[in-house]
Amino acid sequence: MPTVEQKELLDRRLAPFRERGDSEWLHSFNATSGLAWPFTDAASFDELPGSIVNPIAPGGAARTLLLTAIAGRVPLALHGSLSERGVSVVNEPLRRRYRWASIVVDRRRGGQPTYPWAIADQGLATYHAAPWRAGHAAVVVADTAWDFLCSTRSSA
Amino acid sequence: MAVRPARLGLLVPTRVDEIAWLKLFEAALAAQARVWGASGNLIFPLTADVAERELFWELADRFDADAFVTYAPEWTEMRELAPGRHTAREEGDCHDRRASLISRPMRSTTLSKTQTVTSRST
Q: What is the pLDDT of residues B57-80, one digit of tens each?
A: 998 988 888 889 999 988 888 888
Phi, psi of A43 (to 5 degrees): -70, -10
- Domain residue spans in chain B? 8-73, 80-121
Q: Identify the pLDDT of residue B103.
A: 52
Nearest to A30 among B4, B31, B79 (CB): B31
Q: Determine the Cα angle at B56 with ends B55 and B62, to 5°.
A: 90
Which chain B residues contact residue A127 at CB under 8 A? 2-4
Alpha-carbon distance A117 to A102, whole Å? 17
Closest residue on chain B to A30 (Cα): B73
SS3 state of residue B71 = strand
Report the candidate in A149, A50, A72 with the shortest Cα–Cα distance to residue A116: A72
Is residue A87 less than 8 Å (CB to CB) from chain B? no
CA angle, B109 then B110 then B112, to 5°: 140
* pLDDT of A18: 67
Whole-structure pTM value: 0.80
List CB contacts (< 8 A) between A146 and chain B. Answer: 45, 47, 53, 55
- Residue B10 binned pLDDT confidence (cut-offs 50, 70, 90): very high
Query: What pairing do the DSSP bridges indicate for beta strands B67-71 and B8-13?
Result: parallel
Among the partner residues B43, B46, B55, nearest to A2 by beta-carbon distance: B46
Q: A74 touching B, CB under 8 A?
A: yes
Where along chain A do its domains lie?
A: 50-127
- B7 CB near a chain A CB, below 8 Å? no
Span of A46-60, A114-128, B48-62 with lowest mean pLDDT = A114-128
pLDDT for A150 equals 55
